[in-house]
Structures are given as C-alpha cells and as structure tokens.
Copies of this chain bind each other. A is one copy, B any other.
C-alpha cells in the first residue's frame, strides 16, 4: 500500500440548470461539503469516512436532491437511494427506495459494514434501518415547500401519469470521491431521485458500477444526471474501463465516455445528459459535464476549487472561524 499520498476530495451537487438563487446555494453547499470531507482526510481519516462526511453535509442541505430536500414521488412520498464503495476491498453497500432516513449514505455504509449484502431495497432496507436503531426521520422534515410545488407543477403540466417527459426534470443528485493519505479511494452517491417518479423507481445512483465505482488500482467515479440514461451506458464502469483498458487519464476517460453517451443512446427512449466527478490513482480530482451547469468543488493541498457554470473555476484558501465554520478566501 502506498503511503503519504496527498489526500484529496471532490464532490458534486448535481448536473442540472440551477434556477434562481439555487446556483449560489449549490455552489456554497458543495464548498462546505468538500471542506468537511477534506478536514476528515487531513486529520488522517479514511477516504470512506471523508466521502460519508461530505455526503451527509450535502444530504442535510435542502438545496440538493438527496436526504432533506429530496423530490417527491408521484404519490407525494420520499424514497431515497445511496451507495458507498471502498476501493481497497471493493466492498460496497447501498440502499434504494428507502423512506424516513435522514442520511441514506450512513445506512448504505451500515449495509457494507454490517451485512453480507451489497444492496437492500424498499421495506427490507427500512427493516434493516430499524434493526440498526437508525432514528425514523418524519417526512415533514425531509419534504420542502419547493418540492411540494414542483410535484404539483409537474402533475398540472403532464397529468397524473408518471410516464412523461423527464428532460425538464431536476437531477441534482450528490456524490463524492476521495483519496486518503494511504492511497485508498472511495466513492459515494446519494439521491432522492426525480420529481413525479413512480414509487419504487431506482436510477443509477445506488448502483455500484453504474452510478459510481471505486478501485484503488484505477480510481473513483461518481455520476449525476438522468439516471436511466446513465444506467443504459453503465457510465461509471465505462469510465473505469477506459482508464484501465485504454490507458486514458481520468479526465480523458470521463470526457470520452460522456461524449459517446449521446451517440450510444441515439435510439434509446431518452437521451439525456450527465456529469461525473472522479479521482484517479494519480490522486488528481477531475470533473466533466455535458449539462449547462454542474455544482462541483474539490480540495487538495490546502486549496479549494469550485464552479457551477461551464468553464467556471474559482480557487480559495480554506480557513475556519472561531465557531469552526468554514470560510473561503478567494485567491486572486
């Protein structure tokens, strides 16, 4: 095992067009999440712990489509999906269509650590949460007014049926990829899915190999975007394979796979775009997106980098104030 690797973390808050003040909220939210995860890493914490800590921050922020702030199903309920993966062992844990959990990523970690399974869905996932004494989070804490209005708007625009145009729909899933000082790589992804989705609908997010992947010998990837389109092209493992079998860099592999995605899906039901973040075994964080915006932030060598619009890339020095809150001083 390599040691004294420079630790790094990258997070995303969805590939989407952020309406109104959501762009600023998403930008600020990803900066805080990356800083939290980076803090775990610089204290000597593992990539797994950093990914989990960063995703908890994103899940608890109602600006993002995961945990608190998840969009509503066609029945007005919240069903969440999350996955975490350890690139050292290839162990992974995930939950899908789970209800009334504040931090699905923590439950996914429990599936990995406490069971022989990789994925628990629906009522079975909730039974497991009960067994693990995970507190039940009432829907009123998870549902935002904004998402109630969004469901109503979709129902008015498209009718009751869940079968309609998803292209306008938000998909601001969250995710993180980290590498720790021992060179261990981990990824995690968490989502509440898509407004007006059918109950039980699962996209790419909680699926190791599809919504993300982590392998110390290659790198880590987390995807965001239209779940069904990402599923159809096995996006995460496609990128991992391009790195592994075609000797592409993380950036080249991510750019290539996203470009090919549109071509591959030309005959598919939907052909919607996506974004990815990743860290290769070289330790370099990268991002790539075909959407107009993706909220991303990464931290390494004491610096934070962040952007939302295409081409936007700000650099900050992270400090903490007297209350331990992160502050970001923008570099000139």
Contacts from A to B (Cβ < 8 Å): 79, 88-92, 96-97, 114-125, 127-128, 162-164, 166, 197-203, 207-210, 213, 215, 227-228, 231-234, 237-238, 240-242, 244-246, 264-265, 267-270
**In-complex Cβ contact of A210 among B90, B199, B210, B269 (8 A):** B210
What CA separation (Å) do A127 and B77 show in the bound complex?
Answer: 15
Taking CB atoms, residues of chain B closer than 8 Å to A240 are 234
A199 touches B119 (CB 8 A): no
Of the candidates B117, B232, B233, the one whose C-beta lies within 8 Å of that of A201 is: B117
CA of A90 to CA of B260 in the docked complex: distance in angstroms?
13
Q: Which residues of B contact A116 (CB under 8 A)?
A: 162-164, 166, 228, 269-270
**Copies of this chain in the oligomer:** 2
User: Contact check: which of B96, B200, B231 meets A208 at CB < 8 Å?
Assistant: B231
Whether A209 lies near B228 (C-beta < 8 A) is: no
Chain B nearest CB: distance from A182 CB in Å? 13
A234 touches B213 (CB 8 A): yes
Are B232 and A234 touching (Cβ within 8 A)?
no
- Alpha-carbon distance A233/B237, docked complex (angstroms): 9
Q: Apart from A89-B268, A118-B228, what 10 extra A-B contacts exist at CB < 8 Å?
A: A90-B267, A117-B197, A120-B202, A127-B199, A128-B198, A207-B209, A208-B231, A210-B210, A213-B234, A238-B241
A81 nearest CB neighbor, chain B only: B121
Find out whether the CB atom of B237 lies under 8 angstroms from the CB atom of A234.
yes
| Bound CA–CA A209/B228 (angstroms) | 12
Q: How far is the CB of A237 from chain B (nearest CB, A)?
A: 4
